[in-house]
């Protein structure tokens, strides 16, 4: 039996951080001929969010920015470090050309106007 300890080469850990996402808090308001989605994105600067409409799915992605030194090691975190991703299945057709989005005080507001063919119409009874 050998008493030597053999050093085993281990594979280096990947330096690429595995992407983690958190579903942000959001609110949907039904306006007369549109919907307004408010997505709360704390820790995200104005240019680090994107809104995509893929067929009938609205996708909101946002990347957090860190405002502290890399040597800083927090003792406790209230908010996880993960980025945000929200996928909403739309059940009504929206006018893709009139969709707008803006950021106000850390809240992303997406305005989704309802398409003309999806709006309710009155049919005259004879």
pLDDT of residue 9: 53
Q: pTM here?
A: 0.72
With cut-offs at 50, 70 and 90, classify the pLDDT of residue 12. Answer: low
Higher pLDDT pick, 122 / 110: 110
Give 30-80 pLDDT, tens digit per residue.
998 899 999 999 888 888 899 999 988 999 999 887 667 778 777 887 767
Distance from C-alpha of 5 to C-alpha of 98, rounded to nearest angstrom: 69
Strands 57-62 and 49-54, by their bridges, are: antiparallel
With cut-offs at 50, 70 and 90, classify the pLDDT of residue 2. Answer: very low
Do the Cβ atoms of 114 and 94 come closer than 8 Å? yes
């Amino acid at each position: 039996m050998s008493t030597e300890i053999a050093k085993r080469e281990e594979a280096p850990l990947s330096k690429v951080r595995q992407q983690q996402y958190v579903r942000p808090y959001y609110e949907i308001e039904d306006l007369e001929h549109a919907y307004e989605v408010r997505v709360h994105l704390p820790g995200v600067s104005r240019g680090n969010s994107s809104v995509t409409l893929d067929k009938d799915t609205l996708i909101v992605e946002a990347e957090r920015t860190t405002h502290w030194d890399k040597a800083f090691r927090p003792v406790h975190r209230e908010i996880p470090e993960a980025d945000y991703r929200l996928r909403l299945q739309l059940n009504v057709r929206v006018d893709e050309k009139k969709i707008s989005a803006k950021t106000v005080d850390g809240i992303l507001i997406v305005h989704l106007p309802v398409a003309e063919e999806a709006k309710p119409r009155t049919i005259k009874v004879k």
